[in-house]
Amino acid sequence: MPPAVLLVEDDAVVRSVLTTVLKEDGYRVIEAGNGREGLEKLSDGVFDLVITDLRMPELSGLDLMKEGRKEKPETRWIIITAYGSISNAVEAMKAGASDYLTKPFRDPDELRHVIRRVLREAEAEQRISLLSEELGKHFPPPEMIFLGESMKSVQQMVQEVAPTTASVLISGSSGTGKELVARVLHQLSPRREKPFVAVHCAALSETLLESELFGHERGAFTGAVNARKGRFELADGGTIFLDEVGEIAPTVQVKLLRVLQERELERVGGTRTIPVDLRIISATNKDLKAEEAAGRFREDLYYRLNVFPLHLPSLTERREAIIPLAEYFAGKFSASLAKKISGISSEAQSILLGYAWPGNIRELQNVIERAVILSSRQIESRHLNIESPAEVSPNGAGLLQINEREIIQKVLKEVGENRKQAAEKLGISLRTLQYRIKEYGL
């Protein structure tokens, strides 16, 4: 259904012109000739946007907005003011208007541009709010993921690219929240009602990854007793997220390129061409340009994936987010573990702020979960199991990191480099072990 606009203007000529422009653009328009009438119609209806003149008899546009926002806080407002009364428009913006226009209007396109931007921002905020509710049980809410000066530009780019069909390549260190950003992109896109399918490429061998992505026909290989759809087919109409795309083998890269170029695929062991309509979002903690230069990643595939690059800064580049995130995780785990944690002590906060965080947000979450388990009331420094700032070595690598690297290296040697056995022996998941191996350059 097209957006509903309430137009409040006491000048009949101006009101008629604006109504014509709005209806030409497909909006549903309800007119009011003064502020009192506008307030009545606002109370009786549901509107995405109110456009109101600032100066009107009986009830001004500013007073109309103040009264209307009490009853319909979700509605957006654009104020119309006479040229030369910009100070009044500034006052309206401070009171909650999204934007203002000056009359006489120079160009109808100016009105169209402002309306589209205001409605687009409103929709984006609504989607982020809904996404917070959907993901809140498993991830930090988007407003916390985007917390910090260095993430403001990332959030703006996410909102700009989300409604498009462009392929997005998200780069950043392990644990910076690449999958969550991919989910935000999906939720803010026109494909949000369709599937979001995530594939962690580093966790699968070349043969398994090919079958997982493209599916297979019956008898394609030993054990293929039935035909099976791959992740691309399962994501049809929606979004597929390829995590650690830099780990994909060259033979699979060729088939992935075909999906990007032709929007079609063949299952393993099949000859039938299957069309797919999906958006590809990929992520990597490698420098894919360097991988391409070294001949390990196809140049044509790199440019197909990297239509719109997004880089996520590490947690140490946005230290202002550390304590809010830690408090969020403390509250989350306190609730799930039925504990009453009152907060994080100042000494513990200092340690959190001084730590190097090689695992970024994921590591912070693990540290706080362990601290909540150990704590009975307040999280103290002894509950964190990480070194204090004074224990951080000159090159920025903490003692915990050094010890962990040596332990992983020792266990890998004991099991003959078998990663699955090493993960079981260390008591961590295979994916966590793989991230640590990359992080420590083993």
Residues 224 and 303 in one domain: yes
For residues 325 and 361, the answer to whether their CB atoms sit within 8 Å is yes
Q: How far apart are CA 329 and CA 344, in angstroms?
A: 11
Residues 268 and 193 in one domain: yes
Q: Is the pLDDT of residue 170 over 90?
A: yes
Instruction: Say which amino acid occupies 37.
Output: E
- Residue found by looking up tokens 């100070």 in the block: 87
* 326 or 134, greater pLDDT: 326
Q: How far apart are CA 77 and CA 98, in angstroms?
A: 6
For residues 100 and 81, the answer to whether their CB atoms sit within 8 Å is yes
What is the pLDDT at residue 394?
Answer: 39
Residue 128 falls inside a structural domain: no
Q: Is the pLDDT of residue 84 over 70?
A: no
Residues 346 and 259 in one domain: no
For residues 214 and 254, the answer to whether their CB atoms sit within 8 Å is no
For residues 400 and 393, the answer to whether their CB atoms sit within 8 Å is no
Lowest-confidence pick of 107-116, 258-267, 342-351 = 107-116
406 three-class SS? helix
Lowest-confidence pick of 17-21, 49-53, 338-342 = 338-342
Residues 30 and 98 in one domain: yes
Residue 194 falls inside a structural domain: yes
Residues 25 and 58 in one domain: yes
User: What does the CA dihedral 285, 361, 407, 199 come to, rounded to 10 degrees?
Assistant: -50
How many domains does one find in the chain?
4
Q: How far apart are CA 405 and CA 390, in angstroms?
A: 20
* Residues 6 or more apart in contact with residue 180 via CB below 8 angstroms: 135, 139, 140, 142, 145
Residue 254 falls inside a structural domain: yes
CB burial of 209-218 (b: ≥16 within 10 Å; e: otherwise) equals bbbbbbbbbe
* 137 or 38, greater pLDDT: 38
pTM above 0.85, yes or no: no
Residues 429 and 321 in one domain: no
Lowest-confidence pick of 101-115, 296-310, 395-409, 423-437 = 395-409
DSSP designation for 205:
-
What would the pLDDT profile of 362-409 be if each residue is shown by its tens digit? 899 899 999 999 988 899 988 998 854 434 343 434 444 545 677 787
Residues 88 and 155 in one domain: no
Q: Is the pLDDT of residue 301 over 90?
A: yes
Half-sphere exposure of 46 (CA within 13 A, CB side): 3
Residue 86 falls inside a structural domain: yes
Domain range spanning residue 426? Answer: 399-439
Domain edge (last residue) among 286, 311, 336: 311
Residues 178 and 35 in one domain: no
Residues 299 and 152 in one domain: yes
What is the pLDDT at residue 376?
Answer: 85
Stretch 328-341: mean pLDDT: 87
Residues 92 and 153 in one domain: no
Domain edge (last residue) among 278, 294, 311: 311
- The percent of residues in the chain predicted with pLDDT above 70, rounded, is 89
What would the pLDDT profile of 399-438 be if each residue is shown by its tens digit? 445 456 777 877 888 888 888 888 777 767 777 777 778 7
Q: Mean pLDDT score of the chain, rounded to an integer?
A: 84
Residues 304 and 160 in one domain: yes
Residues 44 and 103 in one domain: yes
Domain edge (last residue) among 255, 280, 311: 311
Residue 77 falls inside a structural domain: yes
Residue 328 falls inside a structural domain: yes
What would the pLDDT profile of 248-277 be if each residue is shown by its tens digit? 999 899 999 999 999 999 888 888 889 999
Name 310's bridge partners.
170
